[in-house]
């Protein structure tokens, strides 16, 4: 049996988090996701291992901006 390991995601993994959000939630449009919902979605991502209390508005906005940019590139 082959197991695919999930890469560890930390708050400085903005691109990785954004890509994981796109893969896990293709039905969501980033502009419609608020910061509290975004935090919850990130915390539930497979591989997210960082401390949720380290999140701040700047980090969440960076993730949201990257997600939105990649969303429009698809």
Taking only the tens place, the pLDDT of each residue in 4-60 is 677 899 999 999 999 999 999 999 999 999 999 999 999 999 999 999 999 999 999
Q: Which residue is associated with the tokens 């975004």?
A: 38
Domains along the chain?
Answer: 14-73 (1.10.10.600)
How many Cα atoms sit within 13 Å of 43 on the Cβ side?
11
Which is it for the CA torsion 13, 38, 60, 57, positive or negative?
Answer: negative
CB 48 within 8 A of CB 42: yes
Which has the closest alpha carbon to 64: 44, 41, 46, 45? 41
**pTM of this prediction?**
0.89
Residue 1 in this model has a pLDDT that exceeds 90? no
């Amino acid at each position: 049996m082959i197991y695919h390991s999930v890469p560890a995601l930390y708050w400085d993994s903005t691109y990785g988090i954004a890509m994981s959000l796109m893969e896990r939630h293709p039905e969501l449009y980033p502009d419609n996701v608020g910061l509290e919902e975004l935090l919850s979605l990130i915390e539930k991502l497979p591989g997210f291992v960082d401390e949720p209390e380290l999140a701040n508005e700047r980090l969440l906005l960076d993730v949201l901006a990257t997600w939105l940019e990649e969303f429009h590139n698809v």
